[in-house]
Structure 1
Amino acid sequence: MELGKVINVLIKKKGLTQVEVANRIGKSPTALSQIIKGNYNPNPDTLQKICDVLEVPQPILYFLTISEEDIPIEKLELYRMLAPSIKDFLIKIFGEEKKELLNEV
């Protein structure tokens, strides 16, 4: 899943609007929309602000961008074997409240 799509899903899960998030990160709604659509990659500062607003650490955000379609077929079995352990590891590091995000996105 693309970074923008993950951000959009998390915005919805938090019950926020794109306008609210844009205001909180100091960007225009258009700029945030461009990030969500994948037309623009956020700089590290903007990405951190988005993570702060969504209360999601960057490692979890990046992990959520990985889907089985991103994995080469010859490594898919390994990914399927390791992904649950990685999710558990991230939950232990960042807290139980992130479990729902990791299991639903």
Structure 2
Amino acid sequence: MEIGEVIKMFIKNRKMSQADVAKAIGKSTTALSQIINGVYKPQSDTLEELSRVLKVPVPVLHFLSIDEESVPEENRQLFRALAPSMERYMLDVFNTEPTDLELKKAH
């Protein structure tokens, strides 16, 4: 899953509009939309602002955007074993519905 999809999930679950989030992070709605749609990767300062506004640590955003193909082959078995429970835990801690996140890590 791309980081933009994870950001979109948190925006939705926080019941915020993209316009409100964009304003809060000092970006245009177009810029935020491009991040969400994967046109651009967010810069570290933008990711920090998104993290602050969405109340989710940056490492959680990164973890939820990892898929099995991005994990080195020698670590994939461990990833498959740990990722689903870690993902559910993170979503619970940050009050996000897992139904909004495609569980690619479990496949």
TM-score scaled by structure 1? 0.77
Structure 2 segments unaligned to the other structure (5+ residues): 102-107
| Number of matched pairs | 98
Match of 2:93 in 1: 97
Over aligned residue pairs, what C-alpha RMSD do you find? 2.4
Residue 50 of structure 2 corresponds to 50
Report deviation, 1:43: 1.0
Deviations 1:55-77 (A, max 9, x none): 00001111110234545677543
Q: Percent identity?
A: 47
TM-score, normalised with respect to structure 2: 0.75
1:77 is paired with a residue of what secondary structure? helix
Specify which structure has the higher proportion of helix: 1
Specify which structure has the bigger relative contact order, considering alpha-carbon pairs within 8 angstroms and separated by 6 or more residues: 2
The Cα of 1:18 is off from its aligned counterpart by 0.4
| Native 8 Å contact 2:35 2:41 kept in 1 | yes
Which residue identity is paired with 2:35?
I
Distance 1:8 1:59, change over 3 A: same
Q: Equivalent residue of 2:15, what SS? A: coil
